Amino acid sequence: MPSRPSAGAVIFDLDGTLVQTRGASWDVFRKISDEFELGLTGPQEYFALFHGNIFASLDALCRGRADSEQVRRAFMARLRQEYNPVMIPGMVDVIRRLAGNCTLAVMSSNAMEVLRRVLVANDIAYCFAHVFGGDVTPDKAAAIRSFLSDTGSRYGRRCEVAYDETPALLRPDPSTTVLVTDTAGDVRDAIETGIRAVGVAWGMHSSDELSEAGAEFVAIWPQELPGYLLGDDAAAPTGACAVPAGGCAGPAGGCAGPAGGCAGPAADPPTGQPAGGYVVSAVARPAGACAVSAAERLPGECACGCSGPVATRLTAAAAIRRGRRQRAVQAAVRSGAAQGPVPSRPPVPPVPAARPLGQGAWPQAQAAPAAELRDAVRRIMQSVPGG
């Protein structure tokens, strides 16, 4: 049996391959089916549309209807507005491993806006040299041919903004270009254009369906992909593509996101319970250099503390300082209570009732209450260290 050539380029499908889509995508399309009375009653009927090109399947579903183009436009619009799936666990690490050796691309029937949102949110946008969206290139076979004809396909992107200026020894050809997908329709597009196809078992179509369509291999787990595609070259990547230890890549690389996460043994209090004066989410908190206390983390922020813009972190830091001052004041008050009762002071005069309109102001402002308030604040602040 001849050995497989190591992959020089890997083209990933998005939905069902990189991200979990079985529920998220159907939730969007169900609204389209109901709105236009398409008659689809469950996700399996929807998944069947992907045995071929999804847009051709939609046209066939709407055959004889005057609003077929409107159906397509409405579907894409809802995807842009509502579709925000999570990554398949482990796929972020797989992408980083492959990006150090291959030219990576994403090819999807989804909208370009969705691709950008998903890839940027999971800090893997700069691992891909090419992105093909369904609103720009609806025919995946045509997109594959476009990729193969691009003389720049030898230049990958190694998880950095700039493209790699050192070209691969060989330009990717059909024998070293692999499409990784979860649908039989994509597998057929790959075979039609002469490239290789690898399936994944966790998406829309079963392993048998993918194999029958022509997939040379079907991965059960994401971690199988680097070894199968690269063979002995599937070593851990270095440089910007290095997989962050513990899920924290630092300020430059950001956080691996929901797929890798920043796992740790210590859990936060249940969602909604205050910690240090702030409501926290029920996310596991890491230890060591990645650790950020629950009080220092904003709601919904990554537990490793590496996410969020600079302004958010500065705001959080200011809030932490305020909380520390408040706790110091409370400690000073408790300390004063332990030392004995506070000497009694003259009673504060009551605030006079407002005078009726048109009768002028009171002859003189009530200075005594204001003076009492200033004296109280001054005494408290003097008892706070560093106040």
| Among the ranges given (10-14, 186-190, 242-246, 372-376), the one the predictor scored with the smallest mean pLDDT | 242-246
In the structure encoding, which two tokens stand for residue 135, read together? 């609103």
Q: What is the pLDDT of residue 154?
A: 86
In tens, the pLDDT along 18-46 reads 999 878 888 888 888 888 888 888 888 88
Q: Do 216 and 171 belong to one domain?
A: yes
Rg (CA), the chain: 30
In tens, the pLDDT along 331-340 reads 666 666 555 5
Q: Do 292 and 313 belong to one domain?
A: yes
Can you give the residue range of the structural domain that contains 59? Answer: 24-82
Is 107 in contact with 81 (CB distance < 8 Å)?
Answer: no
Three-state DSSP at 339 gives: coil
Three-state DSSP at 196 gives: strand
Q: Is residue 310 part of a domain?
A: yes
Q: Is residue 272 part of a domain?
A: no
Mean pLDDT of all residues in the chain? 75
Q: Do 230 and 91 belong to one domain?
A: yes
Number of domains observed in the structure of the chain: 3
Q: What is the pLDDT of residue 166?
A: 84
Residue whose C-alpha is closest to residue 161's, from 200, 127, 126: 126
Q: Considering only residues 211 and 362, tell me which one the structure prediction assigns the higher pLDDT.
A: 211
Angle at 13 between CA 12 and CA 14, to 5 degrees: 110
Q: Is residue 313 part of a domain?
A: yes
| Among the ranges given (65-74, 89-98, 322-331), the one the predictor scored with the smallest mean pLDDT | 322-331
Q: Do 232 and 253 belong to one domain?
A: no
Q: What is the pLDDT of residue 83?
A: 87
In tens, the pLDDT along 279-318 reads 333 334 344 444 444 444 444 444 444 444 445 545 555 5
Q: Do 92 and 236 belong to one domain?
A: yes
Q: Do 74 and 44 belong to one domain?
A: yes
Element (H, E) at 217: strand 217-219
Q: Do 104 and 133 belong to one domain?
A: yes
Q: Do 62 and 195 belong to one domain?
A: no
Domain containing residue 105: CATH number: 3.40.50.1000
Tell me the average pLDDT across 137-162. Answer: 91
Partners of residue 196 on adjacent β-strands = 178
Q: Is residue 273 part of a domain?
A: no
Q: Is residue 106 part of a domain?
A: yes
Q: Is residue 279 part of a domain?
A: no
Q: Given the DSSP bridges, would you call strands 266-267 and 284-285 parallel, antiparallel or unpaired?
A: antiparallel
Q: Do 166 and 78 belong to one domain?
A: no
Q: Do 235 and 253 belong to one domain?
A: no
Of 66, 82, 98, the residue that ends a domain is 82
Q: Is residue 378 part of a domain?
A: no
Q: Do 117 and 213 belong to one domain?
A: yes
Full-model pTM? 0.60
Of 58, 82, 106, the residue that ends a domain is 82
In tens, the pLDDT along 86-112 reads 999 999 999 999 998 899 999 998 899
Is 251 in contact with 304 (CB distance < 8 Å)?
Answer: no
Q: Do 130 and 226 belong to one domain?
A: yes
Q: Is residue 364 part of a domain?
A: no
Is 239 in contact with 101 (CB distance < 8 Å)?
Answer: no
